[in-house]
Amino acid sequence: MNRSFSPSRVLAIIIKEFQQMLRDRLTFAMAIGVPVMQLVLFGYAINNDPKGLPTVLVAQDNGPLARSLLASIQNTGYFRITAQTASEAEAERLLETGEVQFMIALPPDFSQRVVRGEKPALLVAVDATDPSSASNALSALAQVTTTALAHDLSGPLASLQPREPPFELRIHRRYNPEGLTRYNIVPGLIGTILTMTMVMLTSLAMTRERERGTMENLLATPVRPLEVMLGKIAPYVLLGYVQLGVIILAAVLLFEVPILGSLTLLMAVIGLFMLANLGVGFTFSTLATNQLQAMQMTFFFFLPSMLLSGFMFPFRGMPQWAQWLGELLPLTHFLRAVRAIMLKGAQAPDIAGSVWPMALFLLVAGALALKRYRQTLD
Each residue of 159-181: pLDDT tens digit?
555 556 677 788 888 888 887 88
Structural Rg of the chain based on CA atoms: 27
Q: Is there a single domain that holds both residue 149 and residue 188?
A: no
pLDDT tens-place string over residues 205-221: 777 777 776 666 666 67
pLDDT at residue 163, rounded to an integer: 57
pLDDT above 60: residue 148: no
Q: Is 209 exposed, middle or buried (0-12, 13-18, 19+ CB in 10 A)?
A: middle
214 domain residue, yes or no: yes
For residues 214-233, average pLDDT: 71
Does one domain contain both 299 and 211? yes
Residue 110's CATH number = 3.40.1710.10
Is-contact 57 69, C-beta < 8 A? no
Phi, psi of 82 (to 5 degrees): -105, -15
**Are 70 and 135 contacting, i.e. CB atoms less than 8 angstroms apart?**
no
- What pTM was computed for the model? 0.80
Same domain, 243 and 270: yes
Residue 25 domain flag: no
Position 119 scores a pLDDT of: 80
Note down the domain range covering 127.
Answer: 53-174
Domain identity same for 266 and 371: yes
Among the candidates 122, 151, 174, a domain finishes at: 174
pLDDT of res. 375: 47
DSSP labels, 97-109: HTS-SEEEEE-TT
Nearest to 100 by CA among 52, 29, 152: 52
- Tens of pLDDT, residue by residue over 293-316, are 888 888 888 888 888 888 888 888
Provide the 10 A C-beta neighbour count for residue 304.
20
Q: Is residue 1 part of a domain?
A: no
Q: Assess whether 203 and 236 both reside in one domain.
A: yes
Nearest to 128 by CA among 96, 150, 160: 96
**Domain edge (last residue) among 120, 147, 174:** 174
Question: Both 134 and 104 in a single domain?
Answer: yes
Residues 6+ apart with CB under 8 A from 28: 21, 22
Residues 114 and 218 in one domain: no
Note whether 191 and 99 are same-domain residues: no
Q: Is the distance from CB of 346 to CB of 261 less than 8 angstroms?
A: yes
- Do 202 and 233 form a contact (C-beta atoms < 8 A)? yes
- 330: pLDDT confidence band, cut at 50, 70 and 90? very high
Give 334-351 pLDDT, tens digit per residue.
Answer: 999 999 999 888 898 889
Q: Is residue 277 part of a domain?
A: yes
Q: What is the mean pLDDT of the chain?
A: 80
State how many domains the chain has: 2
**Which phi and psi (to 5°) does residue 99 adopt?**
-70, -30
